[in-house]
Amino acid sequence: MKLFLDTANVEHIREIQSWGILSGVTTNPTLVSREGRCMRDCLEEIVSIVDGPVSAEVLSLDTEGMIREARELASIDPKINVKIPVTPEGLAAVKALSSEGISTNMTLVFSLNQALMAAAAGATFVSPFVGRLDDVGSDGMALVRDIVSVYRNHGVGTQVIAASIRHPMHVVQAAMAGADIATIPYEVMVQMVRHPLTEAGIERFLRDYEKVRAMEAGK
Ligand code: E4P
């Protein structure tokens, strides 16, 4: 499973990119608004840092507006895929954009039927929102499992992004569910790499090797 960062913060993207494990980035209007910069500025900097796909979301609600915005966003860089909410207008936009060769990420997906329609429209990616489903008492990860299993049964090429990830266990569960990608907030990515036994192990190795250094210094 590929690991994407779910943020528009370029310092965070630079840091995780430097770890050598980052395959892409997803943004949304809320994440961009936190940075106090316009969408285009953020995206131009993000694509200069990241090697893989970068999602950017449209704000229009009508098909024509979505298509117009999508073309503008896609013209920024070939890495950009356009996030479009799963509505009738959004499906029509994805259909039109996929025939133009513009990559799309069907977002705000909360049901298997929505995911089936996203695939039928030709979406490159589909983003089920795990955490937001959990928040309303549904099983968000069950939706990821169902989408993966139905897409596999029917040979669907749309890639599944487990989105709205809230904690490291969501990432583990997304991988076990067979998601192609998990898009992960910075704080969760940092939690994922940490383990108290790793830290204690490093400390002990360094402490023990001090004896060798002392021995060598005494020769
Ligand atoms: C996905 O692409 C979205 O940007 C994101 O995962 C939404 O997460 P949230 O529910 O934490 O806002």
Q: What is the pLDDT of residues 158-206, one digit of tens each?
A: 999 999 999 999 999 999 999 999 999 999 999 999 999 999 999 999 9
Q: What is the pLDDT of residues 44-99, one digit of tens each?
A: 999 999 999 999 999 999 999 999 999 999 999 999 999 999 999 999 999 999 99
User: Does 57 contact ligand 1 (Cβ within 6 A)?
Assistant: no
User: Is 83 part of the annotated catalytic residue set?
Assistant: yes
Pocket test for ligand 1, best of 3, 5, 6 (most atoms within 8 A of CB): 6
Q: Is the pLDDT of residue 218 over 90?
A: no
On the question of pLDDT at 214 being above 80, the answer is: yes
124 C-alpha vs ligand 1 centroid, how far in Å?
18
User: What would the pLDDT profile of 150-160 be if each residue is shown by its tens digit?
Assistant: 999 999 999 99
Average of per-residue pLDDT values in the chain: 97
The pTM assigned to this predicted structure is 0.95
Q: Is 164 in the pocket of ligand 1 (CB under 6 A)?
A: yes
C-alpha 131: how far from chain center: 13
Is any atom of ligand 1 closer than 6 Å to the C-beta of 26? yes
- How far, in Å, CA of 145 to CA of 169, rounded? 15
Q: Distance between alpha carbon 115 and the CA centroid of its chain, in Å?
A: 16
- CB neighbours of 193 closer than 8 A, spacing ≥ 6? 19
- Single out the catalytic residue among 2, 79, 83, 95: 83
Please give the number of the atom of ligand 1 that sits closest to the Cα of 83: 2
Strand partners, 55: 26, 81
28 lines ligand 1 (CB under 6 A): yes
Provide the greatest CA pair distance for the chain: 79
Q: Is 167 in the pocket of ligand 1 (CB under 6 A)?
A: no
**Residue 219 confidence class, pLDDT cut points 50, 70, 90:** confident
The torsion angle over the Cα atoms of residues 67, 71, 74 and 78, rounded to 10 degrees, is 120
Cα 62 to Cα 19, 66, 68, 109, distances in angstroms: 40, 6, 10, 18
Please answer whether residues 104 and 84 qualify as being in contact, where contact means their C-beta atoms are separated by less than 8 angstroms. yes
Contact 87, 97 (CB under 8 A): no
Cα distances from 122 to residues 13, 43, 115, 202, 208, in angstroms, run: 29, 24, 11, 48, 58
